[in-house]
Structure 1
């Protein structure tokens, strides 16, 4: 539907000079990357890639078919055996070379990411830096995998545990962190000795294609393949393909359900990192100023298009007014603008017109249900898909805006009176990706963190990630872990070899 939400106060900072963020000759080929080279697809259709800041078309990218997916799987299958037999040391050296190549092209990748997504340069630069770190970590982790010690567990028999690659892994990545979410999959999948067929979001494929272009000489042909196109076509084909051993997806709950349903027909393994609705539980003794300052970033990073965002505040009723005042003071200083409008721009647009209207629809319904927009509450004037950073207060319990993933620059504030009420309501959402607890009482912090149903729980902080630590959810947020050595476990299989040594 087309939203009728009115514009709200505030401005979008625009670039004063018409200098483009990236020269047109720096764009990657708009084709599929299969068996080490770019090639046209089996069909003739293409997808327009739109700049969400200006609504102008950046370029056209091939819209793939099932036949293109099959060709990519064939290339990955052909490369599978030789790549799986490389030594961990050899794979690690290649991953480190990829990290160096990304570092050498960090500015280019950051600008391309900002162009395609509209995100501020500070966010895009952080994405690229995290991508580089992910490859460097996985290069080391590939060489130190551990398992149960070899030994005699049955009389006269020596048991040895092997960790083997799965084979061909199909990957589907989202639009909010196109490069970083691709790397979170690519790095451990390659480190474990698998080959890949990856489908980037049809809205944001440019940095993934550029990654393939930049690293084409570092990986053997067929080890990494990229097919652009629509999820119901390419993603579905990868999920059902009999030669794909695993499907890994970062995306919406509905996308995860669809992939898991199709994958079940071939009983292939599934790795899902889905949505979130992270509760932020603030007790009366918390450092309210620190919580508000933290949420200025954790609630609005990447314009709130972040599955771990601290978007749902549950604050004790005795300090709710003071906390809300502090949060509004913090959020009101956020700079909204185009990535070319200055290094201090912190908030960009929604990724697309459809998502822009979806977020505005959530805001309309929230305010109709009784929530009060004490800051923001609607669209910002001008071209592009900009939504004002919003704080919704006086939010009724069980309002849709507290239970559903808005995925925009919106934080809701509701109150609780008792600890048990706070924990119960924090856990009532179907998601279980992330949460945080704010208290100066260490016993309370430890206890409440253990009772929250989330894969990551922060105490007195929110949205701080470390490559060494796992990321993934419970409940409808999916299963499987990105980052850390746990990801290597997800992308490999355990084999027990038992030798009869009786004499």
Structure 2
């Protein structure tokens, strides 16, 4: 069955998915327990608008109970050897692997993701736990030695203690893995607040690993950010708060954390420029934007959403890009060969549509797409906006949907200046066949990750994080374990 629009159709599965839901309750001290409130949150399948289930609304008292459980467990977990903590992380990876289909089905139902994206999310989560298991055993630091006369110095790497974690709705299980794995690997305990819209796979993970992870090491409290997230950020017994979310959410977390002078780890928004030079392989660049600009429906902080192309090849590139985007397939979970799915929620769907209305009011050209697709579900056509002038709102505002803009530049210096003229500094890409340019341009771009002739390729061994408004701190790689650790210098007088 399909829903017709002028150009795009929504593919739908013949039969609906049958996900396995986690138990109802807050996961505190190694078990699901009742919330202190009777408030609940509806969990909706955004591809069908069906209410799947409910989870507890969450309260300050729930957070306090979870933090107390994490505090009670932290000394015993920190005392374990890296080998023992590594073994637990490997068991978690094995459990996800053994239940891959369950997690993929549940994630797709809760987020509207197509199969390819859900499969990639689960595979990446597994790899994150396995990498962190190895990295936990391979810290490197200064060797013990005499750095002052007659004094021997030893540097100890310690866990920070209890970490509060706030994860987003766009990659629920994967972003939980990006935090849980290095936090546990470094010897900390944690309390995690998943997005109130997409908590199901995180709760399911807790259910399946309850017998593997000691009680209190992982705790999960569902509920709204203004209650659960704020309490985590301000709680005096939480030693560090880590969030993946919007710039506004990160600012609120940092402000709340300032009261107790705790560390914060912020992975926030992005507006990734794709700089296409005249000598680039234009077909490859267009295909790269098709993949990286519309992956997960563009609900991706590193999405290739802002193309800057040299004016001499802009017409040809735009023609290639429009052709590529016109061929994108849209589908609900369970549909065959869908590239993009729905927006995450009605509220976000409406935000993206408002952004498209503003684009029209600004007089910009929508070369393809630009419309909602009739329901059920929160689907929007993949969209390319062309002839975008310098300084237009779309060049700086993060739409976080299936919308890519195209603007032009005339020389290398202008390309660098224009790419950097954003509050964000998460990711960018450079497309060129010139080896000298491929070395010099990335050094001048103010972004935490810069790809050359590709975009949105992630390696677990490499750090992920941004500059400027995109936050600070690094996920993935051994740098993540550093971020969730503290160093202590002990000096022995031998004189």
Structure 1 residue aligned with 2:30:
36
Contact 1:109 1:128 survives alignment (8 Å) = yes
Which of 104, 108, 123 pairs up with 2:102?
Answer: 108
Contact 2:11 2:338 survives alignment (8 Å) = no
Is 1:22 paired with 2:14? no
Alignment of 1:233-382 (within 5 A): 233-342=227-336, 344-382=337-375
Which of 399, 419, 433 pairs up with 2:426?
Answer: 433
| TM-score of the superposed pair, with normalisation by structure 2 | 0.98
Unaligned segments of structure 2, at least 5 residues: none
For 1:10 and 1:182, the matched residues in 2 are separated by 37
Structure 1 residue aligned with 2:62:
68
Q: Deviations over 1:389-411 (max 9, x none)?
A: 00110112111111100000111
Structure 2 residue aligned with 1:4:
none
Is 1:134 paired with 2:134? no
Shift of 1:8: 5.8
- SS for the counterpart of 2:379 is coil
Which of 221, 226, 241 pairs up with 2:220?
Answer: 226
For 1:8 and 1:415, the matched residues in 2 are separated by 31
Which of 458, 481, 485 pairs up with 2:474?
Answer: 481
Is 1:415 paired with 2:408? yes
For 1:10 and 1:62, the matched residues in 2 are separated by 41
- SS for the counterpart of 2:24 is coil
Is 1:166 paired with 2:145? no
- SS for the counterpart of 1:339 is coil
Structure 2 residue aligned with 1:501:
494
Shift of 1:496: 0.2
- SS for the counterpart of 2:241 is strand
Is 1:403 paired with 2:403? no
Structure 2 residue aligned with 1:424:
417
For 2:24 and 2:346, the matched residues in 1 are separated by 22
- SS for the counterpart of 2:259 is helix
Q: Deviations over 1:42-83 (max 9, x none)?
A: 011000011101111011110000000000000000000000
For 1:67 and 1:249, the matched residues in 2 are separated by 21
- SS for the counterpart of 1:499 is strand
Structure 2 residue aligned with 1:3:
none
For 1:428 and 1:416, the matched residues in 2 are separated by 13
Contact 1:374 1:391 survives alignment (8 Å) = yes
For 2:331 and 2:371, the matched residues in 1 are separated by 16
Check 1:12–1:38 CA distance in 2 against 1; reply closer, same or farther (3 A cut). Answer: farther
Shift of 1:198: 0.1
- SS for the counterpart of 1:396 is coil
| TM-score of the superposed pair, with normalisation by structure 1 | 0.97
Contact 2:43 2:198 survives alignment (8 Å) = yes
Shift of 1:501: 1.5
Q: Deviations over 1:462-486 (max 9, x none)?
A: 0000000000000000000000000
Q: Deviations over 1:78-111 (max 9, x none)?
A: 0000000000000001111111010000110001
Which aligned runs of 4 or more in structure 1 are off by greater than 2 angstroms?
Answer: 7-17
Check 1:16–1:269 CA distance in 2 against 1; reply closer, same or farther (3 A cut). Answer: closer
For 1:364 and 1:340, the matched residues in 2 are separated by 31
Contact 1:151 1:158 survives alignment (8 Å) = yes
Shift of 1:10: 3.1
For 1:40 and 1:402, the matched residues in 2 are separated by 46
Is 1:122 paired with 2:116? yes
Structure 2 residue aligned with 1:10:
7
Contact 1:12 1:381 survives alignment (8 Å) = no
For 2:105 and 2:421, the matched residues in 1 are separated by 40
Shift of 1:16: 5.0
For 2:424 and 2:6, the matched residues in 1 are separated by 32
**Aligned residue-pair number:** 492
Q: Deviations over 1:287-338 (max 9, x none)?
A: 1001001111100000000000000000001100100111111111111010
Contact 1:370 1:395 survives alignment (8 Å) = no
- SS for the counterpart of 1:13 is strand
For 1:233 and 1:103, the matched residues in 2 are separated by 34
Contact 2:13 2:332 survives alignment (8 Å) = no
For 1:15 and 1:436, the matched residues in 2 are separated by 34
Unaligned segments of structure 1, at least 5 residues: 1-6
For 2:350 and 2:416, the matched residues in 1 are separated by 32
Shift of 1:267: 0.3
Contact 2:11 2:330 survives alignment (8 Å) = no
Q: Deviations over 1:348-386 (max 9, x none)?
A: 010011100110111111122121111101111221110
For 1:451 and 1:366, the matched residues in 2 are separated by 30
For 1:14 and 1:238, the matched residues in 2 are separated by 41
- SS for the counterpart of 2:373 is coil
For 2:9 and 2:109, the matched residues in 1 are separated by 16
Is 1:466 paired with 2:435? no
